[in-house]
C-alpha cells in the first residue's frame, strides 16, 4: 500500500531483471490473475516475457497449490486441465499439491503435453540442483545447518541486523538512551516476553527457545544494576486461525474474565507508578502480520492504546517500543510519548539488540522503508506520488486532517545530531555513458558516534508520462565519529532515470530537465537541477 504500480516497475524491476539475467535461482508464480489469466498458467508472462524477453535461465515453481487453484479460479475445468495448462505455460515444478504427479503422465501419453516440455522442466530443475552442489558435494550435513542457526557468528549477525534496522521515531528531551542506574524500570506489554512474536512471521526455521526477548535482553544487560518490574498489562491475540498456528500456535487468552483483565491492567499501571521509567512493548503478534494477515485497522490491537494512555497519565516517563510488521496508528503517541523506537520483528537476538539500543550501547541509524500514515484513512500513502493538478493542496485534501504523513519515507533519528549542507553536483548535464555525482558535507555535531543515511531523490519535470514528485535513486549509510565531518558522494547514471512509459508501452530514458534533492529523508531540502542530454 506504500508503493505505486509505477514505482514497483521502475524501482524494483531493474534489479529483479538483473538477477534474472544472471541466470540463477528460481521464480515462484503467484496466485493472482494478470488481465484475467492466473499467473501460474499465464503463457504471456512465463514464456514471452520471462524467457523470450528477459532470457530467464532458472526454473519456475508454483506457489503453494497454485496449480490446483487454477480450477478454483474458474480458469481450468479440473485438475487434469490445470496440470496441462500450467506445464505448457512454463511452470517447471509444482509446490505442495500433486496435480502434476497425478495428471501429467496421462497428459503426455495422450499428446496433450509434449515430452519436450517435460524434458525442459526437468532440465531446468536439475541445472539448479547442480549449481547448488547437490550432486557434487559430499559434505552436505543437515545437522550443520541446525547448528549454524544458533552459532555465535549467526547470533552476532542477527544482533547487528536488529540494531541497524530499528528506527528511532521520536526522542523528545533526550529521553533515550537510558542511564545504567537510577531506579526501577517498568517493562510492560504483551510483546515484552514473547519469543515467537520477537522472531516474527515466516521464521519457520527458528526456535522460540533460542530467542532473546526484550525482557531477557534488558535483564542480561542491567544484571543487578537496575530492577526490572515486568508484567503484560493486557493480552492480544488473533481470533481467526493463522496459517502459522501449526508452527507457532497463537496463544489463547489466560485472562478470561473482565475482573481478571482489569486486575492485570491495574497491576501494570501500579508498576509504572513505582518505576523511574516505563518501557511499553506494544504492537502486533507475529500472526497478525505476514501472509493472510491483512487488517482493516491500523490501531494497536486490543486494549494496548488504553494501557499506553494510562501509563503516560501516571507522569512516569514512558518509552514506546513498537513490535510490528506494518506502520500502526501512533498519532496519539507521537504527541504524548517522549521516545518511540520501532524494532519491527527483530529476530532471535532481538532482545539483546533492543537493550543495546535503549541504553546507547548501539546508536539507532535505521530509516523508514515506508511512509508512515496518521490514520488508516490515508491509505494508500507513499512518498513518490504524482504532482496532480494542485500539488500545494496537501493540507486541503481532507477536511478533518492533514494529508501529510506522520513520518516521511526515509525518516529516522539518532542519538547523534547531523548537519547536511553545501550540495554540489559534478555537472549541470548528464549524458549517455556518463554519470553525475552529487556531494554534500555532513557534520556530526554531537559527541556521540553514529550513522547517517544520505539519500538522493530526483524528479523529471516533463516527459511522456506525469512523473512522481520524488524518486529515491541513491543512498549511503555512513559512520561518523564524534564531531567528524565527511563529504558524502552519491552517483547517478542515466539508466537509473528510465521508466515504463504508458505512451510507448516500454522502458524509456527521456532527455529533459530534472530536479535533484539530497538529505536524510524523502523531504530532503537541498536542491539542484541537471539536464539529461540526448
Give the Cα separation of 416 and 85 in Å (integer): 58
Nearest to 490 by CA among 519, 525, 514, 459: 519
Tell me if the bond preceding 161 is cis, omega within 30° of 0. no
Give the Cα separation of 170 and 414 in Å (integer): 9
- Grouping H, G, I as helix, E, B as strand and the rest as coil, residue 141 is coil
- The grid coordinates listed for 378 are 490515508
- The grid coordinates listed for 285 are 503478534
Nearest to 336 by CA among 313, 358, 357, 359: 313
C-alpha atoms less than 13 angstroms from C-alpha of 398 in its C-beta half-sphere = 12
What is the phi/psi pair of residue 443, to 5°?
A: -120, 125
The answer to whether residue 197 is catalytic is no
DSSP state of 286: G
Give the Cα separation of 493 and 433 in Å (integer): 8
Q: Nearest-5° angle of CA 68, CA 72, CA 77?
A: 80
From 52, 63, 92, 193, the catalytic residue: 63
- The grid coordinates listed for 121 are 522442466
- The grid coordinates listed for 139 are 559434505
The secondary structure of 67-116 as a DSSP string is: TTHHHHTTSSSSHHHHHHHHHHHT--B--SS-HHHHHHHHHHHTTSS-HH
Please say whether the beta carbons of 285 and 194 come within 8 A: yes
Q: Could you list the active site residues?
A: 63
Amino acid at each position: 500500500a506504500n508503493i505505486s504500480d509505477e514505482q514497483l516497475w521502475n524501482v524494483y524491476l531493474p534489479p529483479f531483471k538483473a538477477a534474472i539475467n544472471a541466470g540463477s535461482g528460481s521464480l515462484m508464480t503467484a496466485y493472482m490473475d494478470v488481465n484475467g489469466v492466473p499467473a501460474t498458467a499465464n503463457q504471456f508472462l512465463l514464456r514471452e516475457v520471462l524467457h523470450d524477453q528477459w532470457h530467464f535461465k532458472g526454473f519456475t515453481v508454483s506457489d503453494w497449490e497454485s496449480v490446483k487453484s487454477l480450477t478454483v479460479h474458474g480458469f481450468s475445468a479440473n485438475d487434469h486441465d490445470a496440470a496441462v495448462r500450467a506445464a505448457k505455460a512454463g511452470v517447471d515444478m509444482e509446490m505442495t499439491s500433486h496435480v502434476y504427479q497425478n495428471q501429467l503422465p496421462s497428459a503426455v501419453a495422450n499428446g496433450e503435453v509434449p515430452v519436450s516440455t517435460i524434458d525442459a522442466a526437468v532440465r531446468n530443475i536439475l541445472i539448479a540442483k547442480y549449481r547448488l552442489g547437490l550432486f557434487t558435494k559430499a559434505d552436505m550435513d543437515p545437522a550443520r545447518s541446525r547448528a549454524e542457526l544458533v552459532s555465535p557468528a549467526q547470533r552476532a549477525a542477527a544482533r547487528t541486523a536488529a540494531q541497524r534496522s530499528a528506527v528511532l521515531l521520536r526522542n523528545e528531551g533526550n529521553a533515550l538512551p537510558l542511564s545504567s542506574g537510577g531506579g526501577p524500570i517498568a517493562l510492560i506489554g504483551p510483546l515484552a516476553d514473547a519469543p515467537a512474536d520477537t522472531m516474527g512471521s515466516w521464521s519457520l526455521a527458528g526456535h522460540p527457545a533460542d530467542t532473546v526477548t526484550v525482557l531477557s535482553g534488558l535483564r542480561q544487560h542491567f544484571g543487578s544494576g537496575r530492577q526490572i518490574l515486568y508484567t503484560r498489562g493486557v493480552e492480544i491475540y488473533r481470533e481467526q486461525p493463522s496459517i502459522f498456528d501449526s508452527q507457532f500456535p497463537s496463544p489463547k487468552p489466560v485472562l478470561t474474565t473482565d475482573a481478571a483483565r482489569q486486575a492485570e491492567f491495574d497491576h501494570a499501571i501500579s508498576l509504572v507508578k513505582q518505576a523511574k521509567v516505563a518501557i511499553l512493548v506494544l504492537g502486533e503478534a507475529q500472526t497478525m502480520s505476514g501472509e493472510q494477515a491483512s487488517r482493516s485497522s491500523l490501531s494497536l490491537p486490543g486494549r494496548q492504546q488504553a494501557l499506553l494512555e494510562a501509563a503516560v497519565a501516571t507522569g512516569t516517563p514512558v518509552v514506546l517500543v513498537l513490535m510490528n510488521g506494518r506502520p500502526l496508528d501512533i498519532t496519539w503517541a507521537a504527541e504524548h510519548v517522549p521516545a518511540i523506537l520501532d524494532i519491527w520483528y527483530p529476530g532471535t537476538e532481538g532482545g539483546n539488540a533492543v537493550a543495546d539500543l535503549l541504553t546507547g550501547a548501539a546508536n539507532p541509524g535505521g530509516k523508514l522503508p515506508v511512509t508512515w500514515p496518521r490514520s488508516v484513512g490515508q491509505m494508500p500513502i507513499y512518498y513518490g506520488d504524482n504532482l496532480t493538478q494542485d500539488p500545494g493542496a496537501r493540507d486541503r485534501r481532507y477536511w478533518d486532517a492533514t494529508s501529510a504523513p506522520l513520518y516521511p519515507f526515509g525518516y529516522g533519528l539518532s542519538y547523534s545530531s547531523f548537519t547536511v549542507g553545501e550540495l554540489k553536483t559534478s555537472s549541470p548535464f548528464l549524458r549517455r555513458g556518463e554519470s553525475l555525482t552529487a556531494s554534500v558535507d555532513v557534520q556530526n555535531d554531537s559527541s556521540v558516534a553514529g550513522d547517517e543515511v544520505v539519500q538522493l531523490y530526483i524528479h523529471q519535470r516533463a516527459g511522456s508520462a506525469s512523473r512522481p514528485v520524488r524518486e529515491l535513486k541513491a543512498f549511503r549509510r555512513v559512520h561518523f565519529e564524534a564531531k567528524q565531518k565527511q563529504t558524502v558522494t552519491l552517483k547517478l547514471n542515466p539508466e537509473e532515470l528510465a521508466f515504463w512509459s504508458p505512451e510507448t508501452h516500454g522502458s524509456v530514458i527521456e532527455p529533459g530537465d530534472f530536479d535533484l534533492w539530497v538529505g536524510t529523508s524523502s523531504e530532503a531540502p537541498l536542491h539542484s537541477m541537471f539536464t539529461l542530454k540526448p
